Amino acid sequence: MTHYEDQQQFVLNNGHLIFDNKPVIIKEWHPEMQLVKHEVKRIPLWMKLYDLDVKLWGIECLKKLSSGVGKFIKCDESTFHKNFLGFARIMVEVDIDQSFPTVLNFLDETDKSQTIKVVYDWLPLSCTKCKGLGHLAENCERVEGLNKWVRKCGGLRE
């Protein structure tokens, strides 16, 4: 394998690429490839957990806490090494159309109720009208069709 092919395989096999706090979904290209739009159902995203007791900073605790949002993938280096205790930063895999809680409630080892604040680096936008990604229903242009697009471009006068 060439150096280029090694790098390509590394990128394809080690997924979860994030650019500008948004997931980047990549596929291997080949000359016979059909340009088909694939439906994306699950994506990785970063979330921060605030107000964590130090005893909750272990990987197993972070996995259990993050399960209230999605499937644990990894934590960042600062969280893993406990270099900065202001928040724990965790990557989770989520459904794009799920709800995203801003707090997680749980019972600690003494059955006392605890609340942790959750902040997301980025959240996916999904349209409830057309089921598309990247916009909300109030900004949906697909439902109204061409007339709205033509008006926006100045080609149609009302």
pLDDT tens, 105-128? 999 889 999 999 999 999 988 787
Output 22 or 48, whichever has higher pLDDT. 48
Output 137 or 152, whichever has higher pLDDT. 137
pLDDT tens, 48-66? 999 899 899 999 999 999 9
Residues 8 and 37 in one domain: yes
What is the number of domains present in the chain?
Answer: 2
Domain enclosing residue 130, as ranges: 125-158
Q: What's the pLDDT score for residue 39?
A: 75
DSSP string, 21-70: TEEE------TT----PPPP-EEEEEEEEES--GGG-SHHHHHHHHTTTS
Residues 139 and 120 in one domain: no
The pTM of this model reads 0.73
